[in-house]
Amino acid sequence: MKKQPKVKDKLRQRSLFVDERSLFEKLCDDKKLRAGFKAVKKNDGKPGIDEVTIEEFESRLDEELAQLRNDINSWCYKPEPVRRVEIPKPGKGAGVRLLGVPCVRDRVVHATLKSLLEPIFDPLFSDHSYGFRPGYSQQQAVKSAQRIVKSGKEYIVDIDLSKFFDRVNHDRLIYLLSAHVPDKRILRLIGMILRSGVIVEGVLELTEEGTVQGSPLSPLLSNVVLDELDKELEQRGLEFCRFADDCNIFVRTPKAADRVMKSISRFIEEKLKLKINNDKSKVGHSREIKFLGMTIIEGAIVISAESMKRAMQKVKELTP
């Protein structure tokens, strides 16, 4: 397991590599945009509404990046709406997950913004947040949960956020970003990206809330939003593990679990302006709760029954 840096070390790294005053100029730098394209190419993905593939974009990379740089500098840049894609959620009758596919050109901007903003925000995030962060992983999250359960906090408050990525409040997100990003040009650009819209069956739908699942920037923005939850839990002295919008809080008794569920649900809905999925959120003993596909039973990490069932079903489908 990779050793996580101490808070002082992370803040020192932040001061060494981050100059917030020149963020917009860095965004327009050719090297930064090329690095952004490399990140997009590495992640692969389908074309957006303009049908331009990564390979086509790369075939005229110098021309594309020069035009992109000029458009951003002159404020002629306008993010295209994203293409809506529906992905089935695991499990029978679980519904679909709504993904958005931005154009390659826009994904380059998103990835470059992420590379500029991550050194600012990541050192500020909680060490109990494990999703979409350099040096953090699902394995670390589950190991941490195991350690907490072994310490005697065997009852879990399992909070499920309903359509989290689709319900992020834009105004609140920009407000949170502005506390650490004084360059208003960057904030304006992110606002344009958030409001770029989505194409559903050929029709443009405005996006007045939410971030695009499929954008390289969205995972970082999601952590900015949910860092408020992390800070609230830490202030209350609660032990927890969070991976993206999957959050487990650990307490010693069922009574404490019920109390925490009520108070934290109220905080999430009233302060963060998000919605709790009451059908999926629950409290229970660790052996009854699934976290990242795993369950902790008598201190041991095992594959949850639901995950095992899905895996066996997949094996049956693939086996003649």
Indicate the pLDDT class of residue 313, thresholds 50, 70 and 90: confident
Q: Taking CA 77 as the corner, what is the angle to CA 175 and CA 116, rounded to the nearest 5 degrees?
A: 50
53 pLDDT above the threshold of 50: yes
Quick one: average pLDDT of 225-232?
97
Distance CA 254, CA 75 (A): 55
Quick one: average pLDDT of 205-232?
94
Q: Are 30 and 139 in contact (CB under 8 A)?
A: no
Q: Is the pTM of this model over 0.85?
A: yes
> DSSP secondary structure string, 161-225?
BTTHHHH--HHHHHHHHHTT---HHHHHHHHHHHTS-EEETTEEE--SS---BTBTTHHHHHHHH
Segment holding 141, helix H or strand E: helix 138-150
Amino acid occupying residue 91: G
CA diameter of the chain? 63
pLDDT in tens, 15-43: 444 555 589 999 999 999 999 999 999 99
Long-range pairs for 301-305: beta carbons < 8 A, 24 or more residues apart = 301/142, 301/143, 301/146
